[in-house]
Amino acid sequence: MVDLKDLLTVRQVADQSPGITENKLRWWIFHAETSGIAPALVRIGGRVYIDRAEFNRWLEGQRMAPKADRAA
């Protein structure tokens, strides 16, 4: 269940996230199915909101493995 207090606009997420621009977020949203961010999106009318908890889970899943682990 989505908590309304956890829904943010694209601009709010970009403002609160160092290194993540509004344009980059919009690119991820446009390519939501291939980027994997779709579970974090809530579409109401023509607006897109981002569920903060789901976005953080998705972002954590994007971490790259340390170099030692990638070589194995």
Q: What is the pLDDT along the chain (72 residues), one digit of tens a residue?
A: 777 888 999 999 999 989 999 999 999 999 999 999 999 999 999 999 999 999 999 999 988 766 665 555
The structural domain count of the chain equals 1
- pLDDT at residue 63, rounded to an integer: 84
Cα–Cα nearest to 43, from 56, 58, 30: 30
51-66: buried (b, 16+ CB within 10 Å) or exposed (e) per residue? Answer: bbebbeebeeeeeeee
Over its C-alpha atoms, the chain yields an Rg (Å, rounded) of 14
The end-to-end CA distance of the chain, in Å, is 39
Domain membership of residue 22 as a residue range? 4-71
